[in-house]
Amino acid sequence: MKSSFKIFSAFGIPVELHISFLLLMLFIYFIAFLGIISTYIAFLITLLFVTVVVHELSHSYVAKRYGVKVGKIVLLPIGGVSAMEEIPKDPDQELKIAAAGPLANIIIALACFIGLIIIGGVGSLTFYSFFISNTPSADLSLFLANFLGVNLVLGLFNLLPAFPMDGGRVLRAFFAKRMSYTKATKAAASVGKQFAILMVILGIFFNFILILIAIFIYLGADQEYKNVMISSKLEGISVRDIMTKDVNTLTPDTSVSEALNTMFKQRHMGYPIKDHGELVGIVTFDDISKIPENQRDTPIGNIMTKKLILANPDEPAMNTLEKITKNNIGRLPVIENGNLVGIISKTDIMRVLEVLDTKPHE
């Protein structure tokens, strides 16, 4: 069962709605129907999530301009997530991609301010109008003031100098103009962690939510640095350098029992399936372990994974690791000119990283 479904496309990018987001919106309008919150609040929350989509589309549009492939945007209760490939390491390009989202929110806030000027409602723009109150009804001036506030806060919040916020990427782009990309990431991640620690201290005295945000920022900064370190270590290493070239294959008619015996003998946990020389699937120990003992005469062709994610021997090893991690799988068949030439697993890549770790650091 799919966890999200497409609602529209923009710039050739599918925008999907996660089922959890749909349930959240239904809940919001349900409590509005019960009178717990006003319809105005429910409507404003809906529009806030629309601006999140605009925010993510702005990132994605600029990224596509620089050749980054964007698979989709998924709208979640915590915000939008763009499924894009690795951000370019060119500082100028990364800065523009990172800044595009917050800039979109600031432009919306500016449009609201111009609207207030046009209708003569600037007097509604006070410090308190930035905080959305449970007003039974609201005029256009209050709406524009509230919408200006939430977009300004969203834009500025995303510019916090910490990963995974956009501001963390802007900061890295600034550092990367003055040092190596790896050192720039380390410096930006360090700033992000220090910022997170400061937020924890503030959260203790003011608001517990700040502590939760700080944890999110600290872990995000740490993960970003680790990813860049791995990418740096694997730089220049291709799938061809790591893959197992002598590939053992099975056929769709092989029984589950026979496949299990092969796995125990050869100590490999996954095998490509070929039918008359053509790759048609892959079967893993996880697939086989789900079959009851009294059904182990079942052909593996009935349980194999037919929708394959493939690797190319000349693609960077880091790209393959990202495919494996993203899809939560253990190994990929390696295809060259339509032929199976190898198989590469996450264990293979991790083993290479362990070897590289034993080398003296610069």
**Known binding residues for Zn(2+):** 55, 59, 166
- Which run of H or of E encompasses 101? helix 91-119
Cα distance between residue 42 and residue 28, in whole Å = 6
Out of 16, 56, 94, 224, pick the active-site residue: 56
Cβ pair 280, 273 in contact under 8 A: yes
Instruction: Tell me which residue has tokens 């301009």.
Output: 65
How far apart CA 153 and CA 147 sit, in angstroms, is 10
Is 56 an annotated catalytic residue? Answer: yes
The SS3 assignment for 161 reads coil
CB 270 within 8 A of CB 330: yes
The one-character DSSP state at 300 is G
Dihedral in degrees, nearest 10, Cα atoms 76, 78, 84, 90: 160
DSSP track, 16-75: EEEHHHHHHHHHHHHHHHTTSS-HHHHHHHHHHHHHHHHHHHHHHHHHHHTT--EEEEEE
d(CA 278, CA 251): 10
DSSP label at 111?
Answer: H
Are residues 115 and 147 in contact, defined by beta-carbon separation less than 8 angstroms? no
Name, in order, each residue with C-beta under 8 angstroms of 286's C-beta and a sequence gap of 6 or more: 269
Angle of CA points 224, 219, 178, to nearest 5°: 35
For residue 333, the Cα-to-chain-centroid distance in whole angstroms is 24
> What is the C-alpha separation between 70 and 59, in angstroms, rounded?
10
**8-state DSSP, 137:** -
CA 279 – CA 168 distance, rounded (Å): 43
Q: Could you list the active site residues?
A: 56
